[in-house]
Structure 1
Amino acid sequence: MIDRHLHHATRLGRHPSRFRLGGTPVVTVLLGSMVTALPVIAQSPSMPPFGLLILLAWRLLRPELLRAWIGLPLGLFDDMMSGQPIGSAMCLWTLTLIGIDAVEHRMVWRGYRQDWLIASVAIIFCLAGGAFFARITGGGEIKLILVAPQMLWTILLFPFIVRQCARIDRWRVMA
């Protein structure tokens, strides 16, 4: 009984590791991008881009953790996992993060609805841009109407992903 009490006393005042603080958002985005490697058979795009969703959730939840340049390496990893043309997510994610930075500098305050609107515009931009990149690199005729259900599903899933990132964030900062 005394040993357990002393064990808890030594944990007080401890801080989480630097990797846990800085690496958790990056690792969760990488894991989200890896979801696209699961064997899902579909006639049209239906799987939400979880890497993008988690990136947007972290960026809007904790803006100080992910800078705009992080879109390059995370986008490259997502391109490799999803099979999209190399450079498409790198370009689109970086432009999205730069756009979010520009919007944040103009807003005095931001709430839940504004975050959802920002994420919705970013999701539409990235999915439409991904279809464009796939088309110009020989991916065939991809009609935007086929991507629309994926856009809607992804936009509706965003609040759930933000909630999960908030839970992970609480764990991230605990000692």
Structure 2
Amino acid sequence: MIDPHLQHVPRLGRHPSRFRLTGTPVIAVMLGSAITVLPVIAQAPVMPPFGLLLLLSWRLLRPELWRAWIGLPLGLFDDIMSGQPIGSAMFLWTVMLIGIDAIEHRMVWRSYRQDWLIASAGIIFCIAGGVFFARITGGGNIKLQLVAPQMLWTVLLFPFVVRQCARIDRWRVMA
């Protein structure tokens, strides 16, 4: 009799768990938003919004994964973690996802450069909108010129984050 622990279990025909398929992207975005609680001391806003980067990466990598309303709960979590006024990321992320949906319905195909351009527009929109919401709610006198390096750094970091999401996605769908 063969020991059942020593038998080879075939991986063909097996499917990953439902939680692994749906929970991995959500947890990744939440961990990206939670990076803001790390004790990083800076004179200017230079830390890229990793939650936003991961949300954009997952959305552009796997368009069928989420609907536009996913920006509401993930944006709320990001608002709580980052200290932004509650509702700012919820609004900005949802509007950005609706805009990406509108763009995708008009395009027949997309290339990597177009994804980077779409992500750049989304990053600039969300960071500038975050500055606007912070200013109107009494968050100080933040000038847009102060966050321009953060925008540039975030746009340049996008390809790296997409590659990491692709690696996570490969693990996510692997049985």
Q: Please report the TM-score for the alignment, with normalisation by the length of structure 2.
A: 0.96
Partner of 1:132: 132
Higher helix fraction (1 or 2): 1
Partner amino acid, structure 2, of 1:147 = V
Superposed CA offset, 1:58-97 (max 9, x none): 0000001111000000000000000000000000000000
Partner of 1:98: 98
Partner of 2:49: 49
Distance 1:104 1:80 in 2: 30
| Alignment map for 1:116-131 (pairs within 5 Å) | 116-131=116-131
Superposed CA offset, 1:76-129 (max 9, x none): 000000000000000000000000000000011101000000000000000000
Q: Unmatched 5+ residue regions in structure 2?
A: none
Percentage identity across paired residues of the two chains: 80
Alignment: residue pair count: 174
Distance 2:61 2:6 in 1: 35
Partner amino acid, structure 2, of 1:8 = V
Q: Unmatched 5+ residue regions in structure 1?
A: none
Partner amino acid, structure 2, of 1:89 = A
Compute the displacement of 1:7 (Å).
Answer: 3.2
Task: Give the match's secondary structure for 2:114.
Answer: helix
Q: Please report the TM-score for the alignment, with normalisation by the length of structure 1.
A: 0.96
Runs of 4+ off more than 6 Å: none
Partner of 2:115: 115
| Alignment map for 1:4-83 (pairs within 5 Å) | 6-9=7-10, 11-83=11-83
The Cα RMSD (Å) is 1.3
